[in-house]
Structure 1
Amino acid sequence: MTDHRARPTGDRTDQSSGAEQRRYVDAEPRRVDDEQLADRVADVMADEAVRLITDVPPGDPAPRRRVVITPPEAPAEAVADDDAKDDEPISIADQVREQLGGLRGLVESSLPVLVFVLVNMATSLKPALWAAVGSAALIAAYRLIRKDSVRHALNGLFAVGIAAFIAARTGQAEDFYLLNIARNSGGALLCAGSVLVRRPVIGYAWRFISEIPPAWRESKPLVRAFSLISLVWALMFAIRAGVQIYLWSQHNADALGWASLAMGWPMFGACLLFTVWYGRKAIASAA
C-alpha cells in the first residue's frame, strides 16, 4: 500500500535549518573586540585607584585627584601619658611659689632692707639709702644678664626707690619704712573690710590662683571659710603695722628694720600655710 503523505522538499529543509542557525546566532552574546575590552579594564582600574586615593565614589564626573597622607598614629601609651601631663593641674603651692618668685625671690626682696639696716647702723642715712637702692639695682641687673624673669626684681627696685625717696626728702631714717607701714595697714583694712561686706578677698585670690566653683559666694561654707582666712591675714597685717607704727613713733630706725625683717616672710609663710591647709579642707567639704 502506497504512502501518499507529502514529504518535505530539500528547499524547506534548507530554509528551516537556516532559520534555526539565525536564532542560534542571535541568542549568542555579542563578542567584544579585544582592544575595547582592554580599554574598559583600564578605565575600571583607574576609577578604582581614584576612589582609593581620594575617597571619591566611582562615577563622580570630576573627582579631585589629591592624595591624603595620614601620619602614623602615636602609641596609645605615649598619647595617654601626654594627655595626662597636659591635664595634670598645677598645685596651688606651685602657683603661689611662682607668683612670689620662690625662695630666691624672697631672699632678693629682703636683701635691700637688710643692706639699709646694716649700712645705716654703720654709717648714716645717705650711704644707707644709696646702698639699698644699689643692691636692688644689682639684683635686677643680675637677673637681666642671666635672662631670668626680672618682674620681682623690678618690683623690689621700685619699692626701694620710693622708700629711699621719702627718707631722703624727710631726712629721717625711720621714714624709709613708711611705705611698708602703709602697705601693712592697707592690707589689714582690705582683708577686714572684705569680710564685713561678705566678699572675702582671699576667696577672690584663691579663684585667681586655683580652681574653685564660679558660684563660690553662694556657698555658705566656702564664704565662712574664706572669711576666716581673710581675718587671719587681717590680723597678721595689723600686728605688723602696729609694731612698726610704735617703733616709727619712737624714731628707732634700727629696731624698725630688724622688726620688719623678722615679721616679714616668717609671718607671711605661716599665714600662707594656714590658707592652703584650711582652704583645701573647706573646698573638699563643700564639694
Structure 2
Amino acid sequence: MAERTEQPKKTNSKQVLGWLGTLADIGLPWIAFTVAYAVTDHDLKLSLIIALSTAGLVGLVRLIRKQPIANVIGGVFGVGLSAFVASRTGQAEDVFLPGILMNCGWFVLYALTIVTRYPLIGLLYGAVTQTWLAWRRDPELYRALNRVTLLLTAQIGVRLAIMVPLYLADNVSALGVAKVALGLPFYGLTVWVGYIVLRSSLSPDKWEEVKENFTHMLKGTQPTPPPVQDKVQDEVRDEQKTEAPAAKTD
C-alpha cells in the first residue's frame, strides 16, 4: 500500500519540475530583456544582447546536464527573431511584434475551424488516435472537442486583448510582464480548465477512452491504433445473434 501512495507523488514532482524547467527555458530570456531594458534606461541594443545571452546560457546549461533542449531551441529562435525585428525598426515594443502576429494567426485558424465545424482539437485528436474524422460522427465527443477548442481560442483572444493595447501604447515594461505571465503559466491554467471541461462533457465510459488519448496528445506520443478488424467482427457477431432468434420464431 505504501508503494502505491508514493508513486503518484514522484510522478507529480517530476511533472512540476518539468513545467518549471520549460518556464525557465522560454521565460528567462524575456524576463532578462524586460529587466535590462528598465535598468539600462531603455538601451534596446544592450537589452537584446542580454536576452540572447540568457537564452544561450540556458541552452548551455541544458547541454551540460544532457537534458532536452527542444524548448531552448524554440526560445532562442523566438528571441532571435524578435531581436532581429526590433533591431531593424529600432522600436523596443517591436520585440513583441512577432509573438503578437503569431497569436493573431493562431486565433484566425482556431476560429475558422470552429466556424466550419471542424474544431482544431478534434482534427488533432483524430490524427493522433488515427481515427481521423470518426469523432464527428459521435455527437458527445464532437461537443466535448469543440468546447476545448473554444476554450483555447478564448485563451489566445485574452492574450491578444491584453498585448495589443500595450503594444499600441508602447508600454515595453508591461509587455514584458504580460509576455511571461500569459505564456506558459496561462497556458498551463488553460490546459487544466480544458481538462475539467472535457471530463464534464463526457460520460464516464467515454471519458476513460478519451483520457488516455489526450495524455498521448499532451506528451506528443502515439497511442495504439484501434483494432478496426476486431471491432467490425464483433459488430457482425452481434447482428447475427440478434437475427438468429427472429429467424426461429418465423
Q: State TM-score, norm by structure 2.
A: 0.69
2:51 alignment partner, one of 105, 123, 132: 132
State the partner residue of 1:109.
26
Secondary structure at the aligned position of 2:160 is classed as helix
For CA contacts below 8 A with separation 6 or more, give which structure has more relative contact order.
Answer: 2
State the partner residue of 1:190.
109
1:230–1:208 CA distance, 2 compared to 1 (3 A): same
State the partner residue of 2:95.
176
State the partner residue of 1:238.
157
Bigger radius of gyration among the two: 1
> Which structure 2 residues correspond to residues 1-287 of structure 1 after superposition, within 5 A?
102-123=19-40, 124-207=43-126, 211=129, 214=132, 215-284=134-203, 287=206
Residue-by-residue CA offset, 1:163-221 (whole Å, 9 max, x unaligned): 01001111111000011111222222122211111111112334566x59651121122
- Report if aligned partners of 1:200, 1:226 keep a CA contact under 8 Å in 2: yes
C-alpha root-mean-square deviation of aligned residues, in Å?
A: 2.5
1:200–1:217 CA distance, 2 compared to 1 (3 A): same
Residue-by-residue CA offset, 1:212-245 (whole Å, 9 max, x unaligned): 9651121122112211211111111011112211
- Report if aligned partners of 1:121, 1:254 keep a CA contact under 8 Å in 2: yes
Q: State TM-score, norm by structure 1.
A: 0.61
How much does 1:281 deviate?
4.0
- Report if aligned partners of 1:222, 1:286 keep a CA contact under 8 Å in 2: no
Structure 2: how far apart are the matches of 1:268 and 1:212? 26
Structure 1, unaligned runs of 5 or more: 1-92
- Report if aligned partners of 1:198, 1:223 keep a CA contact under 8 Å in 2: no
Amino acid at match of 1:232: L
Structure 2: how far apart are the matches of 1:191 and 1:285? 28
How much does 1:284 deviate?
3.9
Amino acid at match of 1:261: V
Structure 2: how far apart are the matches of 1:107 and 1:141? 13
Residue-by-residue CA offset, 1:54-108 (whole Å, 9 max, x unaligned): xxxxxxxxxxxxxxxxxxxxxxxxxxxxxxxxxxxxxxx99xx69xx53211222
Amino acid at match of 2:158: I
- Report if aligned partners of 1:173, 1:253 keep a CA contact under 8 Å in 2: yes
Q: Which has the higher helix share?
A: 2
Structure 2, unaligned runs of 5 or more: 1-10, 207-250
1:251–1:271 CA distance, 2 compared to 1 (3 A): same
Secondary structure at the aligned position of 1:229 is classed as helix
Structure 2: how far apart are the matches of 1:285 and 1:275? 17
1:103–1:153 CA distance, 2 compared to 1 (3 A): same
1:205–1:275 CA distance, 2 compared to 1 (3 A): farther
Amino acid at match of 1:122: V
